[in-house]
Amino acid sequence: MKKVFILTFLLSTTILLQAQSILSLDSCRALAIANNKELLIGQEKINAAHYQRKAAFTNYLPNISGTGAYMRNQKEFSLLNDGQKGALSGLGTSLSGPLEQASQVIGQLHPELAPLLSQLGGAMVPALNEAGSSIVDAFRTDTRNVYAGALTLTQPLYMGGKIRAYNKITQYAEDLARQQHNSGMQEVILSTDQTYWQVVSLSGKKRLAEGYLKLLKKLDSDVEKMINEGVATKADGLSVRVKVNEAEMTLTKIEDGLSLSKMLLCQLCGIDLTTSLTLADENLEDIPTPPVSSRFELDQAYANRPELRSLELAAKMYNQKINVVRAEHLPSVALMGNYMVTNPSAFNGFENKFKGMWNVGIMLQLPIWHWGEGMYKVKAAKAEARIAQYQVEDAKEKIELQVSQSAFKVNEAAKKLAMATKNMEKADENLRYAILGFAEGVIATSNVLEAQTAWLSAQSDKIDAQIDVKLTAIYLQKSLGTLK
């Protein structure tokens, strides 16, 4: 839903830009957030961390895997040697001599059995040979083509706390990715606001430079008439023309700076660089500066600053890493179950059939002696955790300083604006008297030029002070972590 909303917003904003090309500060922020590639990368990092957390949770669940194999052997495994095979295959022939001798002895003792014994002896030899051959065939393994398969189930019972620690690490990693995304978003908003108000400032100074140039050209025209009437010197005319040229050069520089600033704003907002933009606050004669409170709560900054939250999450991750390292040198217990099939099978002699069996058991792994490796790794992990904690404490000290400085700058900007407003009022009054005095012929041209220069400086200082009030308020919000 969030992606659909962003796409809908971008489409509507694009249509709006094509229609009128007027952007407010909120519109610029939204466009910059939606088009910033670093934020898009950060969102994908959040997605990756989310799926890694889900993958880590599966370590609690049984793991089922299947294995299959086929092997072609050059030779067949044999349980009987060649001599045993020959003896069994010729069993009747080997026993024919002893059987004949036994039948003769019996025939002498019992002549009436002689014909029967002779007939029985003739039939017994092939029968024994056949029986021996059957035994040889029964002992054949036929292992030239071997098939095997297994289905294995593994359920961890105790892994030394490694699974639990790894799950917490992935949870912290997902939160860390979100905090880094929030930090990047605040940076994008800050850059957008800075560029926006820079454009507004340059637009105001452009109007100011145009007004100043207009005043100078009128003064130049008046001085030229006075020179023709003999009440002014050519030196006065040259002085005014020099000021006119300087004003034209200043106006050109401001226009160039304004074009570059708008180009930068277009790049931040993902708009074509050749788009002619008009900002909602660009044509304001007097930039509104509502009062900004410089009061702050450090706890609020500690709770909201994504950089500090990121460091705190990193410290928690390092603490869990200690548990992971320690778990590698603790006993681990797992329940295992298998179902295995083979062909040839040996459950009913050797048969060329797929037959299998199941088994269940417990597997215990117990590290016994590793020359202190586990202890050293745990100490190293604890040292890394302490480093992360020191970084958190250092960041808190720097945040306190940054917030205090930002609050101080807010107060200073308000004071400068008040002073600039008073100076502008005095400069307006001074310029009005200078123009009237020049028209009456009681004030020299140089005095008028000085009054105009002072007026230009006062007007420019007021614009700078107003923009400074806007920016210092933004910097204070950024330092408090409330910039949204």
Phi/psi-derived region of residue 481, left when phi > 0, alpha when psi is between -120 and 50, beta in every other case: left
With vertex at residue 483, the alpha carbon angle to CA 481 and CA 484, rounded to the nearest 5 degrees, is 125
Find the mean pLDDT for residues 461-484: 92
Position 112 scores a pLDDT of 63
β-bridge partners, 158: 333
Averaged pLDDT score across all residues of the chain: 86
Q: Is 80 exceeded by the pLDDT of residue 114?
A: no
- Paired tokens of 116: 């029967």
Position 27 scores a pLDDT of 93
Find the mean pLDDT for residues 4-25: 54
pLDDT tens-digit readout, 64-104: 999 999 999 888 877 777 777 777 676 666 656 665 666 66
pLDDT > 90: percent of the chain? 54
Lowest mean pLDDT among 111-115, 154-158, 297-301: 111-115
pLDDT band at 440 (very low <50, low <70, confident <90, very high): confident
Name 171's Cβ contacts closer than 8 Å, sequence gap at least 6.
Answer: 53
Q: Is 90 exceeded by the pLDDT of residue 124?
A: no
Find the mean pLDDT for residues 230-235: 78
β-bridge partners, 23: 279
Pick from 460, 436, 459, 458: which is nearest to 447 by CA?
436
Find the mean pLDDT for residues 240-266: 93
Strand 22-23 versus strand 278-279 pairing type: parallel
Position 390 scores a pLDDT of 96
Amino acid at 196: Y
Position 99 scores a pLDDT of 59
Q: Is 50 exceeded by the pLDDT of residue 4?
A: no
Find the mean pLDDT for residues 439-459: 86
- Paired tokens of 19: 């229609």
Position 419 scores a pLDDT of 95
Position 144 scores a pLDDT of 84
Q: Is 60 exceeded by the pLDDT of residue 129?
A: yes
Angstrom distance (rounded) from CA 278 to CA 282: 7
Lowest mean pLDDT among 187-191, 220-224, 244-248: 220-224
Q: Is 70 exceeded by the pLDDT of residue 52?
A: yes
Which strands form 63-72's sheet, in the order they lie side by side?
63-72, 145-158, 332-343, 355-365
Q: What are phi and psi of 467, to 5 degrees?
A: -65, -35
- Paired tokens of 192: 């957008």
How crowded is the C-beta side of 215, counted as CA atoms within 13 Å? 21
Position 105 scores a pLDDT of 61
pLDDT band at 443 (very low <50, low <70, confident <90, very high): confident
pLDDT band at 120 (very low <50, low <70, confident <90, very high): low
pLDDT > 70: percent of the chain? 87
Q: Is 90 exceeded by the pLDDT of residue 224?
A: no
Position 102 scores a pLDDT of 60
Instruction: Choose between 236 and 167: higher pLDDT.
Output: 167
1 in helix, strand or coil?
Answer: coil
CA pseudo-torsion sign 348, 349, 351, 354? positive
Angle between helices 162-229 and 37-57 (to 10 degrees): 170
- Paired tokens of 332: 């681990």
Place of tokens 């992990």: 381
CA pseudo-torsion sign 465, 469, 475, 480? positive
Give the number of residues written for the chain.
484
- Paired tokens of 393: 């404490």
pLDDT tens-digit readout, 152-191: 999 999 998 999 999 999 999 999 999 999 999 999 999 9
Find the radius of gyration of the CA atoms of the chain. Answer: 48
Position 347 scores a pLDDT of 82
pLDDT tens-digit readout, 400-419: 999 999 999 999 999 999 99
pLDDT band at 18 (very low <50, low <70, confident <90, very high): very low
Position 8 scores a pLDDT of 46
Position 123 scores a pLDDT of 60
